[in-house]
Every structure is written in C-alpha cells, then in structure tokens.
Amino acid sequence: MRWFLWVAMVVSAGGAWANPSVDGTLEPGEYDHRLSVIDATATVAWSGDGQGGLFLAVSAPTTGWVGVGIGSPVMDGAWIFLGYVKDGRPVFSQQRGVGHTHTPQPSRADRWAVAQAGETTTVEFHLSADQMPVTGPSVPFIVAYADRADLTTFHEDNHDGGILTLP
C-alpha cells in the first residue's frame, strides 16, 4: 500500500492532473483533448478545470487573427473568442455571433493569452464555471483564422467546426 501512496505523490508532484498554463503556447500533453481542424492546419485543445470551468486554446498558421466560438455550429449565436498580435502587443476580444457577423461583448474570460511564434498565432483562455456561456456534455464549436491582425478581416475558407466534449 505504501508504494501506491508514493506513486500517487510522485505523479501528483510531477504535474499530472494540472490545469493548462494560460500562456499563449499549446504544448503536447497540456490539454485533455486536442483536435486538428481546418484541413489539419489548425488545432483546438480543451480541458475542464475540475470545477465546471473550461480551458480552451486554438492555434493556427497565421500572423493574423485566430478565433474559436462555442455554443453554436455557426457564427450566429456563438460566443466567439478572438485574438491576434500586432506590433508585439496581444489583443483579445470576446464577441457574440449575430448572423454572419459578430459584436463585442464584455469578456467572460478570467485569464487569457495571445502569442505569436514565427508564423503561428495561439489564443488561449479560461472560463470559470460561473462565466460559462454554454452547458452540457457536448458543445458545438466553430474555429477560424485570417491573415490580418484585426477583428474584421473575413476568414475565407479558413473555418471549421465540431463538438467539444465537456466533463
């Protein structure tokens, strides 16, 4: 029985079961779930925080904006989280999809990071349980990116969607 406790302590001390770091990087093994999207050019990753909240990250091959929306399989009705880096400064925005456009909303994210490494931009954030705009074990998502560092450039064919499974 002592060996079991020792193994549990070593694994726990080694960072297993730890929440993702909201630092603008998407590391292998950092998230519980990882999905390739947009013809395998981009990645969406997510983990529950153990208290009903959500860590979410999206990374795409662009120096422009990257975004992910949850709660709808299309833009209309989705809670959209967008970000980019311009002149070395990260920009993060939460928006609400309305038809084929979106409008700014007060942010629900208590932590966020946007970073650019070479030609790749990553947006990462956390929503606490009381700020989750959606509930349920299966939540539709959309993801997109564009080649301009703004919040308005159209994404052309760089968009996709799927289902997030939540704990």
Q: Where are the domains of the chain?
A: 19-165
Q: Residue 124: its pLDDT value, please?
A: 98
Could you read off the pLDDT of 80-118 as tens digits, one per residue? 999 999 999 999 999 999 998 899 999 899 999 999 999
Cβ atoms 68, 44 nearer than 8 A: yes
User: What are the strands, taking DSSP E only, across the chain?
Assistant: 33-37, 42-48, 54-60, 66-70, 79-86, 89-98, 101-105, 111-117, 120-127, 138-145, 159-165
Q: Are 90 and 24 in contact (CB under 8 A)?
A: yes
Measured between alpha carbons, how far is residue 118 from residues 8, 50, 61, 64, 158 in Å?
39, 33, 9, 12, 19
pLDDT at 107: 87
Q: What residues pair up with 59 in beta bridges, in sequence order?
A: 43, 122
Which pLDDT does position 139 carry in this prediction?
Answer: 92
Evaluate whether the domain defined by 19-165 bears CATH number 3.90.1720.10.
no
Q: In the chain, which stretches have pLDDT less than 70?
A: 1-17
pLDDT given at position 17: 60
Q: What is the pTM of this model?
A: 0.87
Query: What count of other Cβ atoms lies within 10 Å of the Cβ of residue 35?
Result: 17
Beta bridge partners of 52: none
pLDDT at position 28 is 94
